[in-house]
Structure 1
């Protein structure tokens, strides 16, 4: 039986262009249906024809909330993995506690506008501004703590333990700023809000992420956390603090160092001893955290806690 001659190997085709275009509906209809082009254009402009990945209305709909949750998790996760971030120290605190010089300027500006006569609203505004001036010391403590963590990270040699904050102003800015001034990277997990707001200028650009969902932001705060440091703050700080306390209490996460900065402030804010006395919190849960007053105190306490944990539970590590 005669073997067939081998067919020649064809040249590779152009990767994008064809020699002869594929058939188009317009080419066959244009001659006998002058309205065909307009109808095709209407189809192309219809929302149903948009690519799903480019259809903002579709992506914003209730039906695909599950996909948005996944994306809210995955984008920061891939970014943190690419940066080889292994451990974080979370810093929470008020966005209203500003740098001491700025706090002083605000007080002086108010004092210069003192009205004549009885002005209870003015007196209250001035009193709050003066309290924020007194509390501006926490800005400097957070700034110093960010610097300490950055220097300890550099001394460790791997550079993979970073400060993470909510990325906003106030105490968050201070912690990021301390790391920045020490030449270290730091992370900011910002949140999109109805009122436009911006990340502080000291977060590393490639490590600043913007979340839609608070829940996914909380997850990323804790996923790599080795410690939590809570400065005086409002609802947001309390929300994050009690989340971590509850997760530690129930052992949904392994307990970590939880430091409340400013004992006098925190004892007024939350009477933890009262909760223990009332029987709604166990005494051992009161020991999930401790108080500190300075940046050095915070860091020394975290180091001591970690040493003791290793000795008690990882003796062979």
Structure 2
């Protein structure tokens, strides 16, 4: 007879994971483990979980998975970087220009030269992410760069953090033309979403600032949703930094919105134009205590 004592504190019931593992090891039941059977455990039944009626459950799971993992890893504060997936690194843009010159295609050369001009923003995004990561990793609660997880400006943000040995987050999305995660995201912080709304909520839940680079419809959607939430008081006010005054003022006439009464005087102060990584960081330092080792409050939802 064994004298080994049992632990005082232990699970009284097997976990769901243990139940699934046991069920998968079990002996097949001829009348139940066959196509069309409803015998499978509900939480281990993909066909059941993918029913239209289970959409609320799937949305809850998509909210909880990134939330719980970030809680477990102690992530409290982020800086979100938005921007176009189409902006190339300088080297790639230079190759496009050279290819266009060799093809003697004037229109292709014009497009390639514009891509080279816009590659400036890739390099600034990369430098900004490196600066944020280098300084903030010395804090009691580090600030993590978070991007949409794809190419372009998103890649630049994750790359900048990676190149200085830091971690960064990627919130990828399933699209008809598959958007693959860029290779610089920290693997345990690379998440994949089906619902745009849940993805955008995760962008904002821990953010202490939003940094927006030139982009198209997706970037504008993310930018204006953030400004709307702050303008209406649904979200706490935080810095919104927009890289490239010329790009943004040619794209959107904010003064005209004020003049026509479409926004209130002062709403144009919800954001700041910046041109360099250093200028953006200086603005954040004027807003927050960025001293190494500083104690932080938990980021509000």
> Aligned match of 2:94 in 82, 104, 120?
104
1:153 counterpart = 2:142: no
Q: Trace 1:80-95 onto structure 2 (pairs within 5 A).
A: 80-95=70-85
Q: Secondary structure at the match of 1:232?
A: coil
Alpha-carbon distance, 1:82 to partner: 1.0
The residue that corresponds to 1:33 in the other structure is none
The residue that corresponds to 1:198 in the other structure is 180
Higher-Rg structure is 1
The residue that corresponds to 2:44 in the other structure is 54
> Aligned match of 1:293 in 244, 266, 275?
275
Alpha-carbon distance, 1:160 to partner: 2.6
The residue that corresponds to 2:216 in the other structure is 234
> Aligned match of 1:169 in 136, 145, 151?
151
Q: Secondary structure at the match of 2:214?
A: coil
Kindly indicate whether the alpha-carbon contact (under 8 Å) linking 1:227 and 1:256 is maintained by their aligned counterparts in 2.
yes
Alpha-carbon distance, 1:124 to partner: 3.6
Q: Secondary structure at the match of 1:136?
A: helix
Alpha-carbon distance, 1:281 to partner: 0.5
Determine the C-alpha separation between the residues in 2 that align with 1:54 and 1:124. Answer: 54
The residue that corresponds to 2:116 in the other structure is 133
Kindly indicate whether the alpha-carbon contact (under 8 Å) linking 1:167 and 1:208 is maintained by their aligned counterparts in 2.
yes
Q: Which has the higher contact order (CA 8 A, sep 6+)?
A: 2
Determine the C-alpha separation between the residues in 2 that align with 1:253 and 1:197. Answer: 29
Determine the C-alpha separation between the residues in 1 that align with 2:141 and 2:231. Answer: 31
Determine the C-alpha separation between the residues in 2 that align with 1:135 and 1:228. Answer: 20
Kindly indicate whether the alpha-carbon contact (under 8 Å) linking 1:84 and 1:160 is maintained by their aligned counterparts in 2.
no
Which 4+ runs in 1 deviate beyond 4 A? none
Kindly indicate whether the alpha-carbon contact (under 8 Å) linking 1:145 and 1:178 is maintained by their aligned counterparts in 2.
yes
Kindly indicate whether the alpha-carbon contact (under 8 Å) linking 2:137 and 2:143 is maintained by their aligned counterparts in 1.
no
The residue that corresponds to 1:71 in the other structure is 61
Gaps (5+ residues) in structure 1? 1-11, 17-23, 27-36, 115-121, 308-317
Determine the C-alpha separation between the residues in 2 that align with 1:51 and 1:113. Answer: 60
Give the TM-score normalised by structure 1. 0.79
The residue that corresponds to 1:245 in the other structure is 227
Q: 1:54 to 1:130 in 2, by over 3 A?
A: same
Q: Secondary structure at the match of 1:226?
A: strand
Aligned-pair Cα RMSD in Å: 2.1
Determine the C-alpha separation between the residues in 1 that align with 2:258 and 2:116. Answer: 33
Determine the C-alpha separation between the residues in 2 that align with 1:127 and 1:52. Answer: 57
Determine the C-alpha separation between the residues in 1 that align with 2:196 and 2:124. Answer: 27
The residue that corresponds to 2:252 in the other structure is 270
Determine the C-alpha separation between the residues in 2 that align with 1:47 and 1:216. Answer: 33
Alpha-carbon distance, 1:194 to partner: 1.9
Determine the C-alpha separation between the residues in 1 that align with 2:107 and 2:254. Answer: 29
> How many pairs were matched up?
265
Q: Secondary structure at the match of 1:44?
A: coil
Determine the C-alpha separation between the residues in 1 that align with 2:268 and 2:178. Answer: 38
Alpha-carbon distance, 1:47 to partner: 4.3
Q: Trace 1:172-187 onto structure 2 (pairs within 5 A).
A: 172-187=154-169
> Aligned match of 2:237 in 250, 255, 262?
255
Determine the C-alpha separation between the residues in 2 that align with 1:255 and 1:123. Answer: 46
